[in-house]
Amino acid sequence: MNNDKTAAFAELIKESKSIVFFGGAGVSTESGMKDYRSEDGLYNTVKQYGVSPETILSRSFFEAHPDIFYDFYYNYFLNTSAAPNRAHFALARLEEAGKLKAVVTQNIDGLHQQAGSKNVIELHGTVQKHYCPTCKTFMPVEKIKALRGGVPHCEKCGHVIKPAVVLYEEPLDEAVTDSAVAAIASADLLIIGGTSLAVYPAAGFIRFFRGRDIVLINREQTQYDSRATLVFRESIGEVLSETLKHAGLM
């Protein structure tokens, strides 16, 4: 990793008073979570189920085929030993130091909170919560996992329980998006990590940034590379942890 770039990133952090992190799937793949396009990623659903992950993760498919939905959902999102990685812990430390004001994430795994982050804005919801769409009764995630892919039903009204995630064909929660926009708009440094910035509407939130510096950490090129102050192609966990050490925060 380039020491000069790491030092420059550390200086940006030390000078900043209101940092926001905007992250995507690349943050969690370092914890072992599946992405969409890797060899063993979510697109294997096409071979296993005959349809794309976007189809399975749609509201209409959930309602029409809850048995297939929950089999997929358990295998790819709940039956995992994934734990927070260096990136998650570095961001929690940055918040603890009073520098990071919010994590805005497209991920639904809850790993940021497990690492200790407090102000996490989950654009697409979370697999840590499940509820009945009819009577709004919540069911503990432990009960969902215990079914091992079986369809959970509300213990009060019998309706199929739904994960508290935003499925395809569903809009983002307005209160959540307002919080994300407000956080990004008030930041003086925006760190973007583990996202291609190709998924909308979430990726469009970047346009609300009014600060001076953007640091982009992603394995592949993005549409915002030319606007970024610094661009890293290395592991997001390595970049964040080494930079915080350089800044004297870890």
Tokens at residue 33, please? 């979570």
3-class DSSP assignment, residue 186: coil
Contact 125/100 with Cβ under 8 angstroms? no
Count of other CB atoms within 10 angstroms of residue 54: 15
Contact 202/228 with Cβ under 8 angstroms? no
What is the biggest distance separating any 2 CA atoms in the chain, rounded to whole angstroms? 60
What phi, psi does 59 have (nearest 5°)? -65, -40
Place of tokens 């296993």: 48
What phi, psi does 170 have (nearest 5°)? -110, 145
Tokens at residue 43, please? 């697109």
**Strand extents, DSSP E, the chain:** 19-23, 100-105, 120-122, 125-131, 138-139, 162-165, 189-193, 213-217, 230-232
Of these residues, 88, 124, 130, 246, which one is catalytic? 124
Opening angle at CA 158, ends 160 and 175, nearest 5: 50
The answer to whether 246 is a known catalytic residue is no
Q: CA-CA-CA-CA torsion for 145, 53, 127, 65, nearest 10 degrees? A: -60
Active site residues: 124
